[in-house]
C-alpha cells in the first residue's frame, strides 16, 4: 500500500469518527433535554405537593375549605375502579391473547382481527368514554357507577393486555410445544402446563402496565359522568348482617384521583392547587411503583426461563 | 424406484410393525418426501441415512403427526400400523392417540424449563397418572435406561435447563421412554454427545429393541452400520435403497448409495 493511499484511508476514517462523535453528541443532548424536562416537572410537583401530604389528607373528604380537603373518596374510588378493571381485563385479555397465538387458524380473518387490535390501542380514550356512555350507562343501565368506569377502562387497556400476552407467548420456542405434543399432550394441556406458565412473567408485566395506564385516565371517566365532588364512600363490600357480602358498591357513584386533581386545578384559589399537586405526587408514586414491579417481575422471569 | 416392499418382506422372516406406503409430504408446494414406501420391522432398528436436507427428519415427523401442528402441510399416502392395518395419517385418527403410542426424540434437545423429575414424568401426567409411587419408579427406570440416573439422582428437583447439552439430550430420551411407547423415533440422538454417552445411547437402543421398534436418523454411518438391522438411504426426498444393513453397506445396488457410503458426496 502506498503512502498516499494510507493517508487517504486515514483521512476517511477520521471523517467517519467525527460523524460518529457529532451524532453521539446530538443524541445525548436530545436525551438530556427530555430527561431534564421530565425531572423538572417532577421536582416542581414534589416541591409543591409533598409538604401537603399527611394522614389527614388521605383520610378526609374534599371540602369547600382547601386546608380541610382530602382525597379519601378519590383514592378509594381509584382502588375500586382498578379492581373492576383488573377483574374484567385479565381473563378476557389473556384468553384472547392465548386464543390468537395458539388456537386461531392463521388466515385472512385472523390477520384483520390482529390489525384491528393494534388500531384499537391507538383510539383516543375519550372515544371509549362516549361508547361506554351509550352502551354501559344507557343501554345496559349500569348508570354512572364504579362498574361502568371499571369496564370502560378495561376496554381501553384490553389491547395492551392482548398484545403483551401474545408477545410473551411468541417468545416460547416451537421446540417446547413440539416436545409437549410429542408425548401426547392435548392443546389444552400444552396451554395449561407450558404456554401460560412460561409466559406468565410477560403477561403479568403487561397487566401491570395496562393498569398503570388506566389509573391516570381522566377523559373517558368524565365522559361517562364521574362526579368531581363526592363526600361519601361506596357501600362496603362486607357487613356484619346477612348476607354479609354486598356488590352494591359496584353501582355507586365515584370519583378517582386524576378527576379530583382536575377539579382542584380548575379552582382559582392557589391552596387548591397545592392539594392537586399533592394528589399528583401520590398518583405518580403509584404508577412508579407499578412500573417498578413490572420491571422487577420481567427481570425475575427472564432469569428463571432462558431459551 | 426400488421394489422395496417385496425385497424386504422376504428379509429374514421379520414381522412388520408398520409400513410406509407411497408417502409424499409437502411444505406448501415444496414436496420434500416423494412417494416413499418402506417397511418398519417389529423389534428391529431401522436407520435412515442420507445427505443433509434429503428429508429424513420430515419423514420421521410424519410418524407422530408432528406436521399437523403447522399450516400448509400436506400428507399423501399412508403409514399403516400392522397387524391392525390402521393408517395413522388418516384424518379419522386423533394425532394425540398416535403420539401416545409413538414417541420421538428430536434433533436438538428440547427439555421443558421445569425440574428434571417433571420433565421425565410429563408423559405420565398428560395421561392422568396420579399414583406417586408409580411415577417415581417410572422416572427412575427411564432415567436409568437413558444412562442419566447416576448423574442426576441427587438433584431431581433441579431445573433441566441447568444440565449440559448431552445430559439434556439423554433427559429427552428418558422422557420419550417413560411412557412405554410401541415405536420410538430418534432424530440424530447422539449428534450432541461425547463418545462415551454416544456408546451408552447405542447400547441402550440395542437393548430397547427387545420390545420396542426403533427408527433412527443418523449422519454417522458407522453408527448405522453398528446398531441397525435395516437401513434406508434417502436422497432428495426419495428412498433410493432399503435393505438389511450389512447388505446395504457391503453390496449397495444403487450407484448413489455407493457414492454416499463411500463418502463421495453428502
Ligand atoms: N418447516 C419447513 N418449511 C419448509 N421447508 C422445510 C421445512 N422444514 C424442512 N424443510 C425443507 O425440507 C427439506 C428436508 O428437510 P429435513 O429437515 O427433513 O432434512 P434432513 O434430511 O433431516 O436434514 P438434516 O440431516 O440436515 O437434518 C429441506 O430442503 C428443508 O429445507
Ligand atoms: Mg434432520
Q: What is the CATH number of the domain that holds A206?
A: 1.10.3720.10
pLDDT at A294: 85
Last residue of a domain, one of A14, A34, A50: A50
My answer on whether A238 and A200 are in the same domain is: yes
Mean pLDDT of A158-186: 93
Q: Does residue A33 share a domain with residue A105? A: no
Cβ neighbours of residue B31 closer than 8 Å, sequence gap 6 or more: B24, B25, B237
Which of B113, B139, B174, B178 to mutate: most A Cβ within 10 Å?
B113
Residues A66 and A26 in one domain: no
The finding on whether B53 has its CB within 6 A of some atom of ligand 1 is yes
Q: Check whether residue A18 and residue A111 sit in a common domain.
A: no
Residues A102 and A217 in one domain: yes
Same domain as A112, residue A36: no
In a shared domain, residues A19 and A160: no
Of the ranges A116-120, A165-169, A245-249, which is most confident?
A165-169
Give yes or no: residues A213 and A70 share one domain: yes
Of the candidates A50, A69, A88, which is a domain's last residue? Answer: A50
Centre of ligand 2 to C-alpha B61, Å, is 10
Domain-terminating residue out of A33, A50, A67: A50
Higher pLDDT, A64 or A75: A75
Residues in chain A within 8 Å Cβ distance of B127? 184
User: Into how many domains does chain A fold?
Assistant: 2
Same domain flag for A43 and A162 = no
Ligand 1 centroid–CA B263 distance in Å is: 21
Residue B55 in contact with ligand 1 by CB distance below 6 A: yes
Residues of A with a Cβ under 8 Å from any B Cβ are: 105-106, 173-186, 189, 193-194, 198, 304-306
How many angstroms separate the CA atoms of B59 and B54, rounded? 10
Ranking A16-25, A113-122, B2-11, B196-205 by mean pLDDT, the lowest is B2-11
Instruction: Answer whether A179 sits within 8 Å of B112, measured CB to CB.
Output: yes
Same structural domain for residues A12 and A76? no
Question: Read out DSSP for chain B?
Answer: ---HHHHHHTSTTPPEEEEEEEEEEEETTEEEEEEEEEEEETT-EEEEE-STTSSHHHHHHHHTTGGGGSSSEEEEEEEEETTTTEETTSTTS-HHHHHHHEEEE-SS----SSBHHHHHHHHHHHTT---HHHHHHHHHHHHHHTT-HHHHTT-TTSBGGGS-HHHHHHHHHHHHHTT--SEEEEESTTTTS-HHHHHHHHHHHHHHTTT-EEEEE-S-HHHHHHH-SEEEEEETTEEEEEEEHHHHHHS-SSHHHHHHHTTS--
Query: In the predicted model, is pLDDT for residue A305 greater than 70?
Result: no
Is any atom of ligand 1 closer than 6 Å to the C-beta of B176? no
Place A304 in a pLDDT band, splitting at 50, 70 and 90.
low
Structure confidence by residue, pLDDT tens digits, A254-303:
888 999 899 888 888 888 888 899 999 999 998 888 888 888 888 887 77
B33 CA to centre of ligand 1 in angstroms: 10
Query: B139: number of CA atoms within 13 Å, CB side?
Result: 21
DSSP-derived letter for residue A144 is S
Q: What is the pLDDT along chain B (266 residues), one digit of tens a residue?
A: 444 444 444 456 788 999 999 999 999 889 999 999 999 999 999 999 999 999 999 999 999 999 999 888 889 999 999 888 899 999 899 999 999 999 999 989 999 999 999 999 999 999 999 999 999 999 999 999 888 999 999 999 999 999 988 899 999 999 999 999 999 999 999 887 888 888 888 998 998 888 899 999 999 999 999 999 999 999 999 999 999 999 999 998 999 999 998 886 65
* Cβ–Cβ < 8 Å for B197, B147: yes
Alpha-helical (H) ranges within chain A are 3-49, 55-59, 72-98, 108-121, 125-132, 146-170, 174-182, 187-190, 196-214, 219-224, 257-265, 270-304
- Same domain as A111, residue A41: no
Q: Supply the pTM of this predicted model.
A: 0.83
Work out which ligand 1 atom sits closest to the CA atom of B237: 14
Cell digits of residue B205: 437402543
Radius of gyration of chain A from its Cα atoms, rounded to whole angstroms:
25
B133 lines ligand 1 (CB under 6 A): no
Q: How confident is the model at residue A69 (pLDDT cuts 50, 70, 90)?
A: confident
A contact test, residue of B63, B68, B69 with most A CBs within 10 A: B69
Closest CA to B66 of B38, B93, B95, B40: B95
Count of residues in chain A: 307
Q: Answer whether B110's CB lies under 8 Å from B71's CB.
A: no
pLDDT of amino acid B6: 43
The residue range of the domain holding A179 is: 54-304
Question: Does residue A198 share a domain with residue A180?
Answer: yes
CB atoms within 10 A of CB B59: 26
Nearest chain B residue to A192 by CA distance is B126
Amino acid at each position: 500500500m502506498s503512502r498516499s493511499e494510507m493517508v487517504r484511508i486515514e483521512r476517511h476514517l477520521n471523517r467517519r469518527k467525527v460523524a460518529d462523535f457529532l451524532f453521539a453528541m446530538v443524541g445525548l443532548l436530545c436525551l438530556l433535554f427530555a430527561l431534564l424536562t421530565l425531572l423538572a416537572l417532577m421536582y416542581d410537583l414534589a416541591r409543591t405537593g409533598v409538604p401537603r401530604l399527611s394522614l389527614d389528607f388521605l383520610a378526609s373528604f374534599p371540602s369547600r375549605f382547601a386546608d380541610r380537603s382530602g382525597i379519601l373518596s378519590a383514592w378509594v374510588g381509584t382502588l375500586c375502579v382498578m379492581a373492576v378493571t383488573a377483574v374484567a381485563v385479565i381473563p378476557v385479555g389473556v384468553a384472547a391473547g392465548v386464543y390468537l397465538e395458539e388456537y386461531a387458524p392463521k388466515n385472512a380473518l385472523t390477520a384483520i382481527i390482529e390489525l384491528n387490535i393494534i388500531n384499537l390501542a391507538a383510539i383516543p380514550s375519550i372515544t371509549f368514554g362516549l361508547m361506554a356512555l351509550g352502551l354501559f350507562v344507557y343501554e345496559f343501565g349500569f348508570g354512572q357507577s364504579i362498574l361502568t368506569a371499571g369496564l370502560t377502562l378495561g376496554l381501553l387497556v384490553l389491547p395492551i393486555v392482548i398484545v403483551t400476552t401474545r408477545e410473551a407467548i411468541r417468545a416460547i420456542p416451537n421446540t417446547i410445544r413440539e416436545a409437549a405434543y410429542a408425548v401426547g399432550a392435548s392443546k389444552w394441556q400444552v396451554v395449561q402446563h407450558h404456554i401460560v406458565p412460561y409466559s406468565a412473567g410477560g403477561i403479568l408485566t403487561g397487566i401491570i402496565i395496562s393498569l398503570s395506564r388506566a389509573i391516570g385516565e381522566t377523559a373517558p371517566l368524565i365522559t361517562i359522568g364521574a362526579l368531581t365532588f363526592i363526600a361519601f364512600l361506596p357501600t362496603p363490600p362486607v357487613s356484619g348482617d346477612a348476607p354479609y357480602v354486598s356488590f352494591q358498591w359496584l353501582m355507586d357513584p365515584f370519583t378517582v384521583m386524576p378527576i379530583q386533581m382536575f377539579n382542584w386545578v380548575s379552582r382559582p384559589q392557589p391552596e387548591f392547587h397545592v392539594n392537586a399537586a399533592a394528589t399528583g405526587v401520590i398518583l405518580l408514586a403509584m404508577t412508579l411503583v407499578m412500573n417498578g414491579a413490572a420491571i422487577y417481575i420481567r427481570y425475575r422471569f427472564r432469569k428463571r426461563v432462558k431459551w | 424406484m426400488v421394489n422395496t416392499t417385496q425385497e424386504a418382506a422376504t428379509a429374514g422372516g421379520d414381522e412388520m410393525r408398520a409400513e410406509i406406503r407411497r408417502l409424499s409430504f409437502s411444505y406448501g408446494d415444496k414436496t420434500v418426501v416423494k412417494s416413499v414406501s418402506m417397511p418398519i420391522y417389529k423389534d428391529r432398528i431401522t436407520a435412515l441415512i442420507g445427505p443433509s436436507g434429503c428429508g429424513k427428519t420430515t419423514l420421521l415427523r410424519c410418524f407422530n403427526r408432528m406436521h399437523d401442528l403447522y399450516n400448509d402441510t400436506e400428507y399423501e399416502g399412508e403409514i399403516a400400523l400392522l397387524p391392525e392395518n390402521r393408517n395413522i395419517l388418516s384424518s379419522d385418527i386423533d394425532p394425540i392417540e398416535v403420539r401416545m403410542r409413538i414417541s420421538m426424540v428430536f434433533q436438538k434437545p428440547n427439555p421443558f424449563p421445569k425440574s428434571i423429575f417433571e420433565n421425565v414424568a410429563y408423559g405420565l401426567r398428560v395421561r392422568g397418572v396420579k399414583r406417586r409411587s408409580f411415577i417415581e419408579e417410572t422416572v427412575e427406570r427411564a432415567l436409568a435406561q437413558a444412562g442419566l440416573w447416576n448423574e442426576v439422582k441427587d438433584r431431581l428437583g433441579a431445573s433441566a435447563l441447568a444440565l449440559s447439552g448431552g445430559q439434556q439430550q439423554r433427559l429427552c430420551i428418558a422422557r420419550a421412554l417413560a411412557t412405554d411407547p410401541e415405536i420410538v423415533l430418534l432424530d440424530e440422538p447422539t449428534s450432541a454427545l461425547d463418545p462415551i454417552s454416544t456408546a451408552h445411547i447405542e447400547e441402550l437402543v440395542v437393548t430397547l429393541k427387545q420390545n420396542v421398534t426403533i427408527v433412527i436418523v443418523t449422519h454417522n454411518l458407522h453408527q448405522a452400520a453398528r446398531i441397525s438391522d435395516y437401513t434406508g438411504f434417502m436422497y432428495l426426498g426419495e428412498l433410493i435403497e432399503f435393505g438389511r444393513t450389512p447388505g446395504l453397506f457391503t453390496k449397495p445396488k444403487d450407484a448413489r448409495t455407493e457414492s454416499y457410503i463411500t463418502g463421495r458426496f453428502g
